[in-house]
Amino acid sequence: MRRRVAGCTLCSLCEGRTNAVPGSGSAGSRIMLVGEAPGRSEDARGEPFVGAAGRILTEALELAGARRDSVYITNVVKCRPPGNRVPTDGEREKCMPYLEAEIRLVGPSMICVMGNTALGSVLGLEGITRHRGKVVRKGGRDYFVTVHPAAAIYNRDLLPVLRADVEKLVRLAEGGPA
């Protein structure tokens, strides 16, 4: 699947990318985290969440007692949109089979959607503020909703919100109480 993503030309986002960015982590991870799209650092390195938002996410995971290499991290679209704009509905639809394949291959017990784009694309819901911190059951799978780590770069009030959500996510994925 990584090879297919690397050579994918299904949507026009392939035209501006340096690297396509498939998910990263081990098959069998209990937790899968899904963001929006690669940014500049991710596009340059071909790895998800390696820039400022990635550092915030890694720190939140570590504070919750989870090593980053124990989870699987990916995005709704695998190529960087120009200027970091939000991916269009068409781009998300073209790329969705890769995310569906990642979910099948990894088989996580909890899938965390981070931010409005992932919330809408994966669960068909709107309003991250209303849904964050909650579990949504869909298609026989459990999803957990939180803010996108990049939002905490610009709004530091979201940092404790994200950290508390990630702590809850890790606890739930380990079978702990809600």
Residues that bind ligand SF4 (CB under 6 A): 5, 8-11, 13-14, 20, 77-79, 91, 94-95
Query: DSSP character for 71?
Result: S
Smaller CB distance to ligand SF4: residue 99 or 152? 99
Smaller CB distance to ligand SF4: residue 79 or 150? 79
Measured CA to CA, the distance from residue 170 to residue 153 in angstroms comes to 22
Minimum separation from the CB atom of position 59 to ligand SF4 (A) = 28
Measured CA to CA, the distance from residue 1 to residue 99 in angstroms comes to 10
Minimum separation from the CB atom of position 171 to ligand SF4 (A) = 32
Smaller CB distance to ligand SF4: residue 77 or 113? 77
Q: Identify any residues that bridge with 58 across adjacent strands, giving them in sequence order.
A: none
Measured CA to CA, the distance from residue 178 to residue 176 in angstroms comes to 7
Smaller CB distance to ligand SF4: residue 92 or 168? 92
- Determine contact, residues 39/17, Cβ cutoff 8 Å: no
Minimum separation from the CB atom of position 25 to ligand SF4 (A) = 18
